[in-house]
Amino acid sequence: MKKVCSLFRGVLFGAVVGSAIVLLFTPWSGDELKQNISEFVNNFQDDVRQAGTEKRQELEMELARLRSGKI
């Protein structure tokens, strides 16, 4: 039990210190950082949607080819 408490305290302390260091050394203000994160998330979502659409089209073409009997 003592090891678990020690581990938890270490993880918590590391998270607090790491967060403080990131906030101090981030080259953007809070609003700029939120905007950058938002743009990254939006771009990532668009990429995932596009990849899904392309894969769906590819699978539909493969299914049509298999249904037609042309192997």
pLDDT at site 14: 93
Main-chain phi, psi angles of 19, to 5 degrees? -65, -45
d(CA 40, CA 37): 5
Question: For 17-66, what is each residue's pLDDT tens digit?
Answer: 998 888 788 787 878 888 988 999 999 999 999 999 999 999 999 999 99
Domain count, the chain: 1
Q: Is the pLDDT of residue 70 over 80?
A: no
pLDDT at site 71: 63
Q: Which structural domain, as residue segments, surrounds residue 60?
A: 2-68
